[in-house]
Structure 1
Amino acid sequence: MTVTAVELLEAAGAARIEHPGGTLLDHLKRVEAVLDTWGARPALASAGLCHAFYGTDGFPTSLLELEHRAALAEAIGAEVEDLVYFYASCDRKASYRGLAEQDGLFRDRFTGAEFPPTAQQRRDFAELTAANELDLAAVNPDIRARYGSGLRTLFGRWRPLLSAPAWAHCRDVLG
């Protein structure tokens, strides 16, 4: 029997972790759905569902330790796991500013390694970040009020990386 990503998330406790708009699992499902509505390729939408397995720079709760990367890749697919790791590994302070620049550096918060991500990595990261942050802003007016201006500025800088549906959603949620 194949275990689904939702079953893995449930087993890891995502349905019991409070998060804006309900539980972490609720949020993850919404992020996947947003990416689907934007026309994201299946691997990126699946990464939206799974993006919190290793925690993030903004949400440190980890559902799975990094030593289990191979097991997660076997369960959700290597491409999806690579996207999940890349998203989780982002040192936001070091990486966000230069993400839209071809030679901008990305810092892995787990290893400290810095490198220029590929164009595809930059686009995927920007789309997943937008879907994640826009979900939080849409379900929680306090988050939108506190972070909306900064997110508008960030996504404006990332505009070349965002799909037309993602950019339209940014404008709809953030004004």
Structure 2
Amino acid sequence: MDDRTAAALDLLAGRGAEEIAHPGGTLLAHLQRVHAMLERWRVRPAVRLAGLCHAFYGTDGFATALGETSRRAELVACIGEEAENLVYFYASCDRASSYPELARGGPFRDRFSGERSDPPPAARRDFAELTVANELDLVEINPEFRERYGPGLRDLFTSWDALLGDAARHAVRTVLP
């Protein structure tokens, strides 16, 4: 385990992630599974670290935050600027507004500020892979989640096909046939 991963795990544990209920167990267990999935997919270290910390500021689908967006430097010091930028990007996503047009280059809406932006293709790819890993973990670990959201996620992720690497595309087809 590298130093940044160890530091991130310490920070998450220190913020109570192992005591926060999450579909399929605790938040910390979920974050670790997402990190492991991204590692199996051989994504860049910054994306793996973002996967480990993706819920740090809460998300549009999970409101509990471990840190405040006004204090982003704390997470930057732990996981680095590139990974933290992706954590913020992920957390800030207004899903209803941003998901449908993500692969077509549509605008991205920041749920914290309300601002719209046009992220570059590389940011969209990182975001898509992180999102797929997050949701596939929930589908694999929680039968109720799978039943309720699986078909919609399959359709969404299929529409993002061009943004996903081979491993993520294969996982979508395997987990959500």
**Category of TM-score, reference length = shorter chain:** over 0.9
The aligned counterpart of 1:35 is 38
Find the partner of 1:44 among 42, 47, 50. 47
Listed one character per residue, the Cα deviations across residues 102-145 of structure 1 (whole Å, up to 9, x for unaligned) are 3x100000011101111011000100000000000000111111
What is the Cα deviation at residue 172 of structure 1? 1.2
The answer to whether residue 26 in structure 2 is matched with residue 23 in structure 1 is: yes
The aligned counterpart of 1:68 is 71
Q: Report the Cα distance in structure 1 between the residues aligned to 2:151 and 2:57, rounded to whole angstroms.
A: 28
Find the partner of 2:156 among 154, 165, 168. 154
What is the Cα deviation at residue 85 of structure 1? 0.2
Q: Report the Cα distance in structure 2 between the residues aligned to 1:33 and 1:20, rounded to whole angstroms.
A: 17
What is the Cα deviation at residue 68 of structure 1? 1.2
CA RMSD of aligned residues (A): 1.3
Number of paired residues? Answer: 174
The aligned counterpart of 2:130 is 128
Listed one character per residue, the Cα deviations across residues 141-168 of structure 1 (whole Å, up to 9, x for unaligned) are 1111110100010001000001111011
Q: Report the Cα distance in structure 1 between the residues aligned to 2:67 and 2:173, rounded to whole angstroms.
A: 34
What is the Cα deviation at residue 71 of structure 1? 1.6
The aligned counterpart of 1:169 is 171
The aligned counterpart of 2:7 is 4
What is the Cα deviation at residue 39 of structure 1? 1.1
TM-score, normalization by structure 2: 0.95
The aligned counterpart of 1:97 is 100
TM-score, normalization by structure 1: 0.96
Q: Report the Cα distance in structure 2 between the residues aligned to 1:106 and 1:148, rounded to whole angstroms.
A: 23
Structure 2 unmatched runs, 5+: none
Listed one character per residue, the Cα deviations across residues 36-65 of structure 1 (whole Å, up to 9, x for unaligned) are 111100000010000011000000100101
Q: Report the Cα distance in structure 1 between the residues aligned to 2:110 and 2:8, rounded to whole angstroms.
A: 24
- Look up the SS of the partner of 1:39 in the other structure: coil
